[in-house]
Amino acid sequence: MKINFLVNKRPVTINSSPGRRLVDILRIDLGLTGTKEGCGEGRCGSCLVLMNGNLVNSCLISAFKLPDAEIVTIEGYAQSKEYANLKQALEVTGAFPCGFCSSGIIMATGNLLAENSSPTAAEIREALSGNVCRCGDYDNIIAGIRGGAAKPQSRRYGKTR
Amino acid sequence: MAKPGDLLRVLRPKSVNGLLRLYAKNPDALLFAGGTERATRLKPDSVSAESKIVIYLGKVEELSRIRRSQRYLEIGSCLPISRIVSIGRHILPEALSTALRSIANPAVRNLATLGGNICAAIPNNDSIAPLYAIDGQLEIRSLSGSRWVPISRFFPGAGETVLKEGEILFRIRIPLEEWDYQVFRKVSGSHICSHPLLNFCGLARFSKGILETVRFALGGLNNTVFRSLELESRLEGKTLPLSEKEVESLLAGADELLEPLTDSSFSAAYKRATGLRLLRWFIENIHRENR
Ligand SMILES: Cc1cc2nc3c(=O)[nH]c(=O)nc-3n(C[C@H](O)[C@H](O)[C@H](O)COP(=O)(O)OP(=O)(O)OC[C@H]3O[C@@H](n4cnc5c(N)ncnc54)[C@H](O)[C@@H]3O)c2cc1C
Ligand code: FES
Ligand code: FES
């Protein structure tokens, strides 16, 4: 089927079978490899994008849902001022040792901050409850999001969630 | 029935009548709401084991409506769970709201619908025990009309619903009663947004230290949800706090009635013990709200 939709504000037309997943369309057809695939079943959050303003797992979106949809990927979000601020804060805490989870976590965080500009640690944990960081760097990620540095004793991997 | 290699055809009706007509014409079609159960089973080019026709419900506006009357909240089957929680804030019974907020994670809740959670026919899905406890009703529609079914009669057997050929779940009716004490708890096997193993919902209403109404439902023991009107009525009219004898007698009664089954992850004995612990925790805590 021929599908017209918007990706990062640009009109896109693709030819796809209706059951293909958005994560594959983004990565393979459109070369937007910032969106990652981890579990492929909605559990890890590596593939998060915005669809019509809502945070969704692109591994769970079939192509037939895409006509007229507006998709924002990490490549689109990275153009925003909010991203620049967040990136700087995350660099301070040195979050994301390997970075595989980072695009999903940043998309989930951007979505949270759009509604709540100064979330508590508990609110951040809840917003990131669908994101798995295999390096277990949750303390530094949360500290970065809160704009502060993580305390040295909490820098051990996998300590808290 | 589709064969491997058959191409997937997707129908996207925009009205309930259009949907019901299409479903009557294609009774083997697969209904697709949020797709969080379905999407991972669709093959890119073919649907090998199931139907080759998918009917997507997400464009049917009537299925995404929510309506409030004095006594009920009526939720369209295709409204995403995150929307129900935000629209229903301060209206939904707290136990049901807690259950819905416990499902999966925020992104999945933006896709998953309440209708899908019910029609997936997995009675330990998290909305089901609270819907049993609050006496939720389901409106089923087909081309030949509409019928209402209490949730307690919706699952006739393992993996089954009472939906007949051409029927869809149209909306879910939530009675808006006042409760003095409401709890929802779930027990999961792993911490990463896994499906629940057991879930429990308890509700109580009391006045001047006397229990007026108590309801509780326990999902996950077997292929249905446990609720016993007989056990509930034993507590009604009792003075709070309940005596140790009253608590133990109720638990003994529940122990006799529970019929847990061993599954691939957990033994029947573990489920029985955990179910009874949840019930004990609920009844022992009722009086704390009554101070
Ligand atoms: C990562 C992850 C974690 C999860 N965690 C939980 C959890 O913690 N608790 C929990 O309860 N569930 C959980 N789930 C399960 C799932 O999200 C829910 O069951 C969801 O509510 C299903 O809704 P849906 O709209 O996605 O259904 P779909 O996948 O679209 O459909 C599910 C089934 O219902 C049928 N159906 C849907 N709507 C209708 C209708 N209106 N009429 C008739 N039939 C219909 C479909 O044909 C299909 O058989 C999880 C899922 C994932 C992917
Ligand atoms: S790849 Fe989509 S949630 Fe894990
Ligand atoms: S930084 Fe490695 S997975 Fe999160």
pLDDT, tens digit, 9 for 90 and up, residues B94-103 = 999 999 999 9
Q: Answer whether residue A154 is part of any domain.
A: no
Going by pLDDT thresholds of 50, 70 and 90, the confidence category of residue B7 is confident
Class (C level, CATH) for B181-289: alpha beta
When mean pLDDT is compared across B33-42, B55-64, B166-175, B234-243, the lowest value belongs to B33-42
Q: Answer whether residue A160 is part of any domain.
A: no
Going by pLDDT thresholds of 50, 70 and 90, the confidence category of residue A153 is very low
When mean pLDDT is compared across A15-29, A117-131, B148-162, B194-208, the lowest value belongs to B194-208
Evaluate whether ipTM surpasses 0.85.
yes
Say how far apart CA B100 and CA A19 lie, in whole Å.
28
Choosing from A23, A45, A76, the residue where a domain stops is A76
Say how far apart CA B202 and CA B279 lie, in whole Å.
8
Say how far apart CA B220 and CA B198 lie, in whole Å.
4
Chain A, nearest residue to B101 by Cα = A126
Instruction: Give the pLDDT confidence score for residue B194 in this predicted structure.
Output: 62
- Chain A contacts of B40, Cβ < 8 Å? 40-42, 59-60
> From the CA of A61, how many Å to the nearest CA of chain B?
7
Say how far apart CA B178 and CA B203 lie, in whole Å.
10
Atom of ligand 1 nearest to the CA of A130: 1
Tokens of B80: 């995403």
Choosing from A76, A96, A121, the residue where a domain stops is A76
Choosing from A49, A76, A103, the residue where a domain stops is A76
Domain range summary for chain B, segments of one domain joined by +: 9-56, 61-175, 181-289
Going by pLDDT thresholds of 50, 70 and 90, the confidence category of residue B226 is very high
Q: What is the mean pLDDT of chain A?
A: 90
Among left, alpha and beta (phi > 0; psi -120 to 50; other), residue A31 is left
Helix (H, G, I), strand (E, B) or coil at B187: strand
A18, B54: Cβ pair inside 8 Å? yes
- Asked if A52 and A92 sit in the same domain, the reply is no
Domain limits at A36?
Answer: 2-76
Say how far apart CA A82 and CA A103 lie, in whole Å.
14
Which fold would CATH assign to domain B61-175?
3.30.465
Instruction: Give the pLDDT confidence score for residue B123 in this predicted structure.
Output: 86
> From the CA of B37, how many Å to the nearest CA of chain A?
9
